[in-house]
Amino acid sequence: MHFPFRRRLFSRLILVTLTLLLSSLTFAQLPPSVIGTRAVMTTWSDPLEALGTLSAEESVVLSTTVTETVAQINFEDGEQVEEGQLLIRLDDTEEQAQLRSSQALRDERRNASNRASQLQERNLAARADVEDSQSRLRQAEADIQAIEARLANYRLRAPFSGRVGFRNISIGALVTPGMDLVTLDKLDVMKLDFSVPEVFLGRISPGLMLHTATAAYPDDIFNGQIATIGTRVDPVTRSVNVRAVLDNTDGRLRPGMLMQVIVQQRVRDAVVIPEAAIEPSGDRHSIMLIEQSEDSTRLAKRIVSIGERRYGEVEILEGLAAGELVVVHGLQLARDGQEARLLGIADDETSIRALLEADR
């Protein structure tokens, strides 16, 4: 008595199976939806990556050559100072007294020399007396110059324009020769030192551009160029030291920062497409070309030879010309010789996501 029920169940299963089969056949006949992008001719270079350390273009730790107490401090922490600006003055009371004494002696000997010269003009003094008085005058002037030179040691001036560091001394503190008083760094241009393996020595040269990044500013790229290449290769590491210069007008970079360096070597013009447009198969690579006519859009598979990769892009050495349209989205369903529905062309102004959202 259960046979009618089984027959109905069997009939329903057959109906569902036929419905699914027909749906699959209908779906298989629909052309795949793809998004294309055009191959472009652009400047390309092989990235050489390294780690480097920043240093200031000019950097010095200022100290004094005399033992004396601090009488005056003319800067604040982190202040921008100009070349020749007085930063620290030591107590020079004793030297100033010696200078005034020597100046008085000089004036006395100058007057004596003038009187001797006047008497000699009237034949009332010997020529030797005049020469002796002039000699004593020059000696007094030399003594003054020596004292003024010593007085310069009591004044600490900025040797170049830059930014001072922390002030670690106070007025009245006793300083001695060689004691670190203040740091001064010229930060508008930074030097970046890094090393590269010797095998790349023939690919780099002064003037080559590079890009750098630091964890302190993860969203920013700092550009620079190679200034100097070391004259020796390290026999242990087999690497050569390289120095680059970076503009730091905004003052964000600091000496000692660790920088990620990418040197743009072997600069050339190349055909470039997104890496997502490449279909790898073993050691071969292919792309799906979009051929458009008045009444259809058809796909054509093409084998290409690729070069270097960078940031989601790949260099095409052979098999593709600039301006040709390739599939960048929808490769899973794309087949050679198949007609396709082109949703749009992705470029710098239109993203794949925007095209997909517009098609919903």
Each residue's pLDDT tens digit, 118-172: 887 777 767 777 788 888 889 988 999 999 889 999 999 999 999 999 988 899 9
Paired strand residues for 189 = 247
Return d(Cα 39, Cα 218) in angstroms, integer. 30
Q: What is the pLDDT of residue 12?
A: 62
Label the pairing between strands 33-38 and 341-345: parallel
Name, in order, each residue with C-beta under 8 angstroms of 128's C-beta and a sequence gap of 6 or more.
none
CA of residue 143 relative to chain centroid, distance = 52
Question: pTM of this prediction?
Answer: 0.61
CA distances from 251 to 82, 246, 295 (A): 16, 11, 59
Residue tagged 């050691």 (tokens) = 283
What's the CA gap between 182 and 61, in Å, rounded? 6
Low-confidence ranges of the chain (pLDDT < 50): 1-3, 25-28
Question: pLDDT value at position 326?
Answer: 94
Burial zone of 24 (CB within 10 Å; 0-12 exposed, 13-18 middle, 19+ buried) = exposed
Q: Are the beta carbons of 341 and 34 closer than 8 angstroms?
A: yes
Confidence (pLDDT) at 18: 57
**Alpha helix (H) ranges present in the chain?**
3-29, 93-121, 127-152, 352-358
The pLDDT value recorded for residue 235 is 94
